[in-house]
Amino acid sequence: MASPTASKLARFICAGTPVMMALLLAGCDPGKEKENERPEPRPTDPVAPTKTEVIAEEVDLIGDKPDAKGVKPSDKMTVLLDPLEPTGPVNRVARNAYKIIADIKENIEKVNVDLDGGGKQITRLIHNSDEVCKNISDMAALWPDDNVFRDQCIAGKRQALTLNDELSRVPRTWAHVRWAFSSTLRAVSLLRLRARELAEAEPKPTVIVGKDGKTEVVEAAPAPIDPALAKRNEAVNKAKRMRDQMKQIEDERKKKNMPTDLENVK
């Protein structure tokens, strides 16, 4: 006689579905298989970066370090200054002013590109800072009688010379170079705006259209100089020439009185 346990097992097997019977006969446990099953990550799920990938993304972006290796000069110059262009026909002085305004913009942005490139092109940096100084001198020569504008040019050139000195210094401190460049950028920005005001205030030329349809620009005659103003400017220039002569004489006198025999100097 079969035991009660064997009888219950036989009834369970007979009552089960064919699939269940097949699994039991094969020795598989469906619950355990489902337990061990893990969902595969979907393509849209974000994948956390590995430690190596995180380190590779940490690039030093400080371009004014002399040993910056992760920085490459940009192919495009960063626009630091707005392009200032004439609103219509202008005379010769204004045309020269606008040309110098454009030259200052180009040279100052060349300096910025090389600074962002790690300061490796030091010869080119010094050359372009020299060009900025020359641009400012040429700008001041356009309106020599405007003392306020000349003072502004002197202040701007002083900043540009400071930048040039910091670039020429060996060893150079790149933080000081950056400060000098920022000061020069502010100075030339104000100088360009003032130069544009003076250029637009210049007498406008007359545009004449001929019978053949061609246009001809005729510059206006220079405004007559006030005799009182001309006399005053002449007196100022004469006093300046006298001061320069006196200073030169004084320097020559000091050189003559300076002892040349250094062995006898106590």
* Tens of pLDDT, residues 43-89: 444 444 443 333 333 333 333 344 433 334 444 567 789 899 888 88
End-to-end CA distance of the chain: 137
What's the CA angle centered on 55, arms 54 and 59, to 5 degrees? Answer: 105
Does residue 229 belong to any structural domain of this protein? no
Domain holding 117: CATH number? 1.20.120.330
The answer to whether residue 139 scores a pLDDT higher than 90 is yes
Residue span of the structural domain in which 121 resides: 92-218
Quickly state the pLDDT bin for 97 (edges 50, 70, 90). Answer: very high
Total structural domains in the chain?
1
Does residue 184 belong to any structural domain of this protein? yes
The answer to whether residue 4 scores a pLDDT higher than 60 is no
Sequential DSSP letters for 92-139: HHHHHHHHHHHHHHHHHHHHHHHHHTTS--HHHHHHHHHHHHHHHHHH
Q: What is the pLDDT of residue 201?
A: 92
Question: Which pTM was predicted?
Answer: 0.55
Q: What is the pLDDT of residue 221?
A: 57
Does residue 128 belong to any structural domain of this protein? yes
Q: What is the pLDDT of residue 68?
A: 36
Does residue 7 belong to any structural domain of this protein? no
The answer to whether residue 197 scores a pLDDT higher than 90 is yes
What average pLDDT does range 96-113 have in this prediction?
Answer: 96
